[in-house]
Structure 1
Amino acid sequence: AIRIFLAYVDVETTFLNGILKEEVYVSQPEGFVDQDHLNHVFKLKKALYGLKQAPRAWYDLLSKFHLSQKFVKGSRSNFVHSEGRK
């Protein structure tokens, strides 16, 4: 018999934690426009929901943490991390 322990976590603010590799600027969303600075755009410090780069930024952050904790990437899928063999 094979004994397997499986753990998972649901991170509610997943896409707000990723660190962007490139500079991304956004315009002011409707309803939140600063009337004193109508033409201002903002540089994002981290990923944002709806941003094309957000899933990859989150995966890179999570993967870096897992590897620092001695987890290894799966041989068939880079999206599966497992604890290294002892």
Structure 2
Amino acid sequence: MQEEIHEFEWLEVWELVPRPDKVMVITLKWIYKVKLDELGGILKNKARLVVCGYRQEEGIDFEESFAQVARLETIRIFIAFAAQKNMLVYQMDVKTAFLNGNLREEVYVSQPDGFVDADNP
């Protein structure tokens, strides 16, 4: 969890501000996953900080949403098309993909459990 928080701080993803009135603050929660190596052994435990988006309403809290992961059928179609056109395809794993997007509006989220700033609760 500390690694995830450190990454947010290093990339200056957020700034602590007093909680504004009449603004919906989105809560955060930790998701845990065990990462395995190629032999099925435990490589490491991974923590991810995610927003609880299920509390939002389309048209009020957001206008559009995006799939975080491409569907397998979409990847197959893309690779088939690239092969037909003799295109070169590269694969990469972006650890902090959503951090690189630009927001058009201000978003307020609560501080993650276990990492609440005492000077700015």
TM-score normalised per structure 1: 0.34
TM-score normalised per structure 2: 0.26
The answer to which structure, 1 or 2, has the higher relative contact order (CA under 8 A, 6+ apart) is 2
